[in-house]
């Protein structure tokens, strides 16, 4: 097989994972390991805290959405998705900044986060079910509050 030309290491890893049936390889350093307490993990990280503070200011996020933003910033979502200038665009992963404008319920977001392949056959998005219902709901509430950059 010819080596991949013009693909980043992450893109090659994602392609190999897709071909062998692995759900994901993000981030490039290895399989995603979810922190036991993702909100606390973000609060301990200066980079994560700065990112969420910027999102909050730029997007005028309600206080109720901030824990979901913290979780999103720390569990690997930005390995495939973009949000308000953060993250990377990977494959068919949608931009999340304006996802709250879609007619999707919090329950539908939770279902997709828990079992992406159950909502969209063939989805390569990993399951975030291990985060637990409360954290999935926090992420879903953050997504609902995301209505596009309001500068």
**Confidence label for 20 from pLDDT (cuts 50, 70 and 90):** low
Domains detected in the chain: 34-145 (2.60.40.420)
**Confidence label for 135 from pLDDT (cuts 50, 70 and 90):** very high
Indicate the pTM of the whole model: 0.77
User: Alpha helix (H) ranges present in 21-82?
Assistant: 38-44, 46-59, 66-74
67-85: pLDDT as tens digits: 999 999 999 899 889 999 9
Give pLDDT, residue 21.
58
Give pLDDT, residue 46.
94
Distance CA 41, CA 46 (A): 10
Judge whether 66 and 52 are in contact, CB under 8 Å.
yes
Q: Please name the residue that has the structure tokens 């939770």.
A: 110
Q: Pick the residue with more confidence: 20 or 135?
A: 135
31-54: pLDDT as tens digits: 456 788 999 999 999 999 999 999
């Amino acid at each position: 097989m010819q080596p991949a030309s013009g693909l980043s290491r992450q893109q090659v890893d994602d392609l190999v994972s897709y071909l062998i049936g692995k759900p994901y390889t993000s981030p490039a350093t290895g399989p995603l390991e979810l922190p036991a307490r993702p909100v606390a993990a973000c609060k301990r990280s200066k980079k994560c805290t700065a990112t969420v503070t910027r999102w909050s200011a730029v997007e005028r996020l309600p206080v109720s959405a901030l824990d979901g933003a913290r979780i999103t910033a720390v569990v690997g979502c930005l390995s495939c998705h973009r949000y308000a200038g953060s993250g990377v665009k990977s494959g068919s992963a949608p931009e999340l900044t304006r996802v709250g404008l879609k007619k999707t319920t919090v329950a539908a977001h939770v279902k997709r986060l828990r079992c992406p392949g159950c909502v969209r056959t063939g989805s390569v998005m990993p399951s975030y079910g291990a985060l637990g219902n409360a954290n999935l709901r926090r992420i879903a509430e953050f997504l609902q509050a995301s209505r596009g950059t309001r500068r």
